[in-house]
Amino acid sequence: MNQPLIDKQRARRAFERAAPGYDAAALLQREIADRLLERLDYVRLEPQRILDLGAGTGYAVDALQRRYRKARVIALDFAHPMLLQARRRGRWWRRPLCLCAQAEQLPLADGAVDLIVSNATFQWCNDLGLAFTECLRVLRPGGLLMFTTFGPDTLKELRLAWSTVDGYSHVSPFPDMHDVGDALVRARFADPVMDMERLTVTYTQLAELMADLKGIGAHNATGQRPRGLTGRRRLAAVAAAYELERQADGRLPASYEVVYGHAWAPAQKPVAGGIGVPISAIGHVRRPGVTA
């Protein structure tokens, strides 16, 4: 993949500014989180420790605590003001433990958690493989990673409209579903499963979409973004190009390609050069099957 890199400092500052009003603007993110959490209905797992990776304001914390009443939830995000909101979640005797850190460098011990849930976070990682390797490291053997991210058709209308105005990057890059699955395999997760659905949010005018993106902190944070302010003439040209997308009902669409994934930490964690097998298992190891 040859995608523009995310300027992490710029992205973090945008989320820090958005934190106070994030919940009011993040309607789509909450809907996707709900759909992700519903998938746990089909998982047989009784975790003791759960990592909400990229927790934001902690929307998923309450649902995770209701579902797993004996579990301790850890909320991790790279924007500290988001965690100031997240730490208010739950009952006073059961607040989440909050950690400010990057997904590519988790401040947790090996095998520290049983379940990682991550909603709309991995698209902000410049090294997705490293993030998955870190997830595998902190999962106990047999633990589960379940996540969403956005695919390349996300905000395709906005990307196309900007492309008619200049050659700069104005929309953050989003990884292809197959590349995400390949990264899970390279990180040596077991039984990765990927699928995707398309959602469309509609607006009366482009300014409403731009306000929503600003409200959730989803600014253009690519290193190849244009420097300086965007003039009114260029914004008007983008709005005119976006008008070509107006639907029969008179509304402007904003497409989102939502990628879902889950994978398991192997029963024996990978070690350098192969899989670690306990001595007690020697003589009882069965030849693994091969799947297409």
Question: What share of the chain has pLDDT > 90, as a percent?
Answer: 74
pLDDT digits (tens, 9 = 90+) for 42-52: 999 999 999 99
Q: pTM, whole model, 2 decimals?
A: 0.86
Please report the pLDDT score of residue 290 as a whole number. 37
The range of the structural domain enclosing residue 84 comes to 8-270
Reference 154, options 128, 124, 127, 130; nearest CA is 124
288 has a pLDDT exceeding 50: no
Please report the pLDDT score of residue 91 as a whole number. 80
Whether 69 is covered by a domain: the verdict is yes
Work out how many domains the chain is built from and give that number. Answer: 1
pLDDT digits (tens, 9 = 90+) for 68-126: 999 999 999 999 999 999 999 988 778 999 999 999 999 999 999 999 999 999 999 99
Please report the pLDDT score of residue 282 as a whole number. 35
Instruction: Supply the CATH number for residue 13's domain.
Output: 3.40.50.150
CA 93/CA 95 separation, integer angstroms: 6
Please report the pLDDT score of residue 6 as a whole number. 84
Whether 277 is covered by a domain: the verdict is no
CA 35/CA 202 separation, integer angstroms: 20
Please report the pLDDT score of residue 220 as a whole number. 66
CA 253/CA 5 separation, integer angstroms: 26
Whether 281 is covered by a domain: the verdict is no
Half-sphere exposure of 136 (CA within 13 A, CB side): 25
Half-sphere exposure of 281 (CA within 13 A, CB side): 9
Whether 97 is covered by a domain: the verdict is yes
Please report the pLDDT score of residue 167 as a whole number. 64
Whether 279 is covered by a domain: the verdict is no
Whether 290 is covered by a domain: the verdict is no
Q: Is residue 3 very low, low, confident or very high in pLDDT (cuts 50, 70, 90)?
A: low
Whether 98 is covered by a domain: the verdict is yes
Which distant-in-sequence residues (6+ apart) come within 8 Å of 40 by Cβ?
67, 117, 146
Whether 2 is covered by a domain: the verdict is no
228 has a pLDDT exceeding 60: no
